[in-house]
Structure 1
């Protein structure tokens, strides 16, 4: 696989797990990696919007791998799923990687709205990653 891997990133255990897996997939397949971070509906005041320090750390880690990469921090007002899907379409992505939260038995009946929309609407393969359980 060559092409582009797009990952939806938020500063959380699930976001970090998705980023690490996307990075591994890009290295394994010689793909470009595009990291997408956005706040809730593009609002950069929400906790899901990564800090400048988070973005610097991601860029530094990717530069060390030698991967062709880009980091997109969107503020256009789109929902996270819409932004991930938009970037995937623009980049002609071959894979999207998203993080999944642990759910209660009732919560397992429904996926989160972001992950559900990406899984249903993506034009390419989607890999859903869970964060490792705390011990």
Structure 2
């Protein structure tokens, strides 16, 4: 069994990584760090650099957690493909970060995090980043 963390290089992604490492250590499970980009996208701000991903894995190892980083491209729907990864990995827990959104943004726009929370067939830990705009 493992814990799957959805990681993006943002405060919410960092909060998810920190929580994922803590949960993996507590449960004595491996950590799968997932950073995904839309296939064919020339620029995607959610894609972490190799250095950032190396640092994420190093933080897990320093905490005594075996970690693997994957960057699978997704073609259609990020939430569906992320949930498929969690199922294939036999994840006991999914960890995602939440970002602050306005009421209008929540109403008008869909959310990958919301879909993961609603459609997951295993427990999901959703964490928020500390700091301005995150309450």
**TM class, shorter-chain normalised?**
0.7 to 0.9
Pairing partner for 1:126 from 124, 127, 133? 124
Q: Deviations over 1:19-53 (max 9, x none)?
A: 10111111111111111001245747301011111
Rate the CA distance shift 1:60–1:24 in 2: closer, same or farther, 3 A. same
Rate the CA distance shift 1:112–1:128 in 2: closer, same or farther, 3 A. farther
Pairing partner for 2:34 from 29, 33, 36? 36
Structure 1 stretches of 5 or more lacking a match? none
> Normalising by the residue count of structure 1, what TM-score does the alignment of the two structures yield?
0.86
Rate the CA distance shift 1:39–1:76 in 2: closer, same or farther, 3 A. closer
Aligned structure 1 segments of 4 or more residues deviating by more than 4 angstroms: 108-112
> Normalising by the residue count of structure 2, what TM-score does the alignment of the two structures yield?
0.86
Q: By how many angstroms is 1:66 displaced?
A: 2.5
How large is the Cα RMSD of the aligned pairs? Answer: 2.2
Structure 2 stretches of 5 or more lacking a match? none
